[in-house]
């Protein structure tokens, strides 16, 4: 909205992690070097921690984009799961079928695959985001298996909030502490770094103005954000919107003050979670034996006042947000999750301001197929992968490939547009059957990152005499996936029998 007014070619202070806007402070640079050297030199497990909003995900996405073809990557971000599901997700991210029902087999399968990759001088790197959410049991089992088996050629990068450090230092995991030496923390930006960060994003947004924010405004932004990049983005974005609505080319302290009030509501001058943080920091002081009951009561009363201010501001914040939407004619979709299966309905908004949608998670997989055939509109920050996870319940390369088939306009799997309509097919046994020009049939067994995955099918008795084709598919300017196509079959029934047999053996990722 304000891009043309301030001379930006694109929005400079978005909250979606974007490697293009990566700013390397000393602690960000150190974390990047630790992860890079850990993978390059095969140093085992790397632990990277940082507060919410410090830029961990942006840093990791930048690293993922820079790793060459000699690194096979798996990126896992759903971590409130069992160890068995964790290993299954890792295998699927690598484009491998999670063969076997027991987690021991899956771990051994992962190790064998890593050895195969190592034989051609490549490396398997597993990124586990939100690792602080791993249960103590899952984290302990992961470390136990890693350090007790010949798996040093697998590189694991654990990324999470500071609680991850506390978890590793807990008595249950103390035996692994000495082996986890590659640990680093991404710290909030300093006052000087915050100023450089803002100028950095202004420049990458396409503007050359170095005086868009006054010195006092910059000081107030730092004081409010405490050097957290995400909070800086939120303040700057809202301040530019306020400045645009007032036709002011320069963002001064008055605009920042108004922006903070809008963000926080009347009666509060800083985020409520900072009151909680400050209270936590005072815990040791309160429990000190020399502290009198009087001071404990004072702290308690202050906490109640802070809570009341937060609750009062909530309604005010909602009204301000609604007014801003009304003024800017922004179309939004409010999603309500229902337990029962239902289609997606997007009624036409009478004045093109708001619309409501009811969306449900799909029913669990069954033998009749996976997912519901429907069209979903992409929102800001969503990717093909995240949309698939919401629609089907899990994600792997084969499922993404099926969606790309239904949406030929998507030429880059890593890039979709806001409000773009994405068609999701229902994945069934019959949908994996392809018709040959000679009116015989083939089956799409799976889509994988490497051609080596075809070896999973070579020794299958049911495929004796069948041709196994490896067909490359370019899914982005820098990335090529490989389809495994098996055939030919004389009739559809023979193809279906083969599909069901491979499905029972967990050799069809789309129907796993």
- Distance CA(44)–CA(50), nearest Å, equals 20
Type and span of the H or E element at 470: strand 467-476
Mind listing the pLDDT tens digit for each residue in 262-317?
887 633 444 444 444 444 444 444 444 444 555 666 666 666 655 555 444 444 43
Neighbours of 418 (CB within 10 A): 10
Residue 134 in tokens: 């791993």
CA-based nearest residue to 391, from 369, 372, 407, 406: 372
| pLDDT computed for residue 306 by the predictor | 57
Q: Where are the beta strands (DSSP E) in 29-83?
A: 45-50, 71-76
Task: Give the burial string for 38-75 (b: 16+ CB within 10 Å, else e).
Answer: bbeeeebbbbbbbbebbbbbbbbbbbeeebeeebbbbb
Residues 6+ apart with CB under 8 A from 139: 131, 167, 168, 173
CB half-sphere exposure, 274, CA atoms < 13 A: 11
- Whether domain 1-16+189-264 has CATH 1.10.8: the reply is yes
CATH class of 26-186: alpha beta
Contact between 507 and 460 under an 8 Å Cβ cutoff? The reply is yes
pLDDT along the chain (512 residues), means of 10: 85 85 92 90 90 89 81 84 86 73 76 80 88 90 84 85 89 84 91 94 85 92 93 92 89 91 60 45 46 60 58 42 36 29 30 28 42 73 73 76 86 81 86 81 88 77 88 84 89 89 82 69
As a whole number of Å, the CA-based R_g of the chain is: 26
Helix, strand or coil, per DSSP, at residue 204: helix
CA-based nearest residue to 460, from 428, 508, 398, 427: 508
Instruction: Let me know the angle formed at the C-alpha of 52 by 49 and 58, rounded to the nearest 5 degrees.
Output: 75
Contact between 488 and 443 under an 8 Å Cβ cutoff? The reply is no
Handedness of CA 259, 264, 267, 268 (dihedral sign): negative
Query: What share of residues in the chain are helix, strand, coil (percent, to 5)?
Result: 50, 20, 35
pTM: 0.54
Alpha helices, H only, 120-189: 136-148, 163-168
- Distance CA(409)–CA(407), nearest Å, equals 5
Which of the 8 DSSP states describes residue 212?
Answer: S
C-alpha distances out from residue 52 to 49, 57, 227, 230, 266, Å:
10, 10, 11, 8, 25
DSSP labels, 59-72: HHHHHHHH--TTEE
Helix, strand or coil, per DSSP, at residue 260: helix
Beta strand pairing status for 421-424 and 374-377?
A: antiparallel
Q: Structural domain boundaries of the chain? A: 1-16+189-264, 26-186, 374-512
Q: Exposed (0-12), middle (13-18) or buried (19+): which is 195, by Cβ within 10 Å? A: middle
Neighbours of 12 (CB within 10 A): 24
């Amino acid at each position: 909205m304000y891009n043309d007014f301030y001379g930006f070619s694109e929005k400079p202070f978005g909250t979606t992690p974007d490697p293009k806007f990566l700013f390397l402070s000393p602690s960000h640079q150190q974390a990047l070097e630790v992860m890079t050297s850990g993978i390059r030199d095969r140093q085992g497990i790397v632990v990277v921690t940082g507060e919410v909003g410090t830029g961990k995900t942006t840093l990791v996405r930048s690293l993922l984009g820079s790793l060459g073809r000699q690194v096979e990557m798996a990126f896992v971000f759903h971590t409130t799961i069992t160890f068995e599901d964790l290993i299954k997700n890792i295998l699927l991210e690598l484009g491998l079928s999670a063969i076997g029902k027991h987690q021991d087999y899956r771990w051994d399968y992962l190790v064998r695959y890593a050895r195969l990759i190592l034989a051609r001088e490549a490396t398997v790197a597993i990124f586990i985001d939100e690792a602080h959410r791993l249960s103590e049991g899952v984290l302990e089992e992961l470390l136990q298996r890693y350090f007790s088996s010949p798996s040093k050629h697998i590189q694991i990068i654990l990324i999470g909030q500071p609680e991850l450090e506390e978890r590793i230092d807990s008595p249950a995991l103390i035996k692994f502490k000495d082996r986890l030496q590659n640990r680093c923390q991404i710290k909030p930006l300093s006052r000087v770094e915050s100023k450089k960060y803002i100028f950095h994003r202004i420049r990458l947004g396409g503007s050359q103005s170095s005086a868009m924010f006054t010195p006092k405004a910059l000081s107030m932004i730092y004081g409010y954000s405490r050097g957290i990049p995400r909070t800086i983005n939120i303040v700057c974005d809202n301040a530019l919107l306020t400045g645009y609505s007032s036709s002011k080319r320069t963002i001064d302290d008055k605009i920042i003050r108004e922006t903070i009030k809008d963000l926080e509501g009347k009666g509060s001058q800083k985020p409520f979670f900072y009151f909680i943080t400050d209270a936590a920091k005072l815990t040791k002081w309160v429990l000190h034996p020399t502290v009198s009951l009087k001071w404990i009561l004072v702290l308690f009363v202050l906490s109640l006042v802070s809570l009341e201010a937060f609750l009062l501001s909530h309604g005010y914040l909602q009204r301000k947000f609604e007014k801003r939407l009304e003024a800017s004619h922004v179309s939004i979709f409010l999603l309500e999750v229902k337990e029962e299966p239902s289609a997606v309905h997007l009624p036409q908004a009478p004045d093109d301001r708001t619309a409501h949608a009811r969306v449900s998670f799909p029913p669990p997989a069954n033998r009749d197929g996976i997912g519901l055939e429907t069209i979903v509109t992409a929102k800001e920050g969503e990717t093909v992968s995240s949309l698939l996870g919401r629609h089907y319940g899990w994600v792997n390369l084969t499922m993404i490939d099926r969606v790309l088939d239904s949406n030929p306009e998507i030429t880059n799997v890593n890039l979709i547009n806001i409000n773009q309509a994405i068609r999701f097919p229902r994945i069934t046994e019959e949908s994996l059957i392809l018709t040959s020009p000679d009116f015989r049939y083939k089956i799409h067994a799976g889509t994988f990152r490497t051609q080596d995955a075809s070896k999973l099918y070579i020794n299958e008795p049911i495929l004796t005499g069948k041709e196994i084709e490896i067909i490359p598919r370019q899914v982005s300017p820098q990335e090529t996936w490989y389809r495994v196509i098996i055939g030919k079959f004389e009739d559809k029934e023979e193809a279906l029998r083969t599909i069901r047999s491979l499905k029972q053996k967990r050799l069809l990722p789309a129907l796993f």
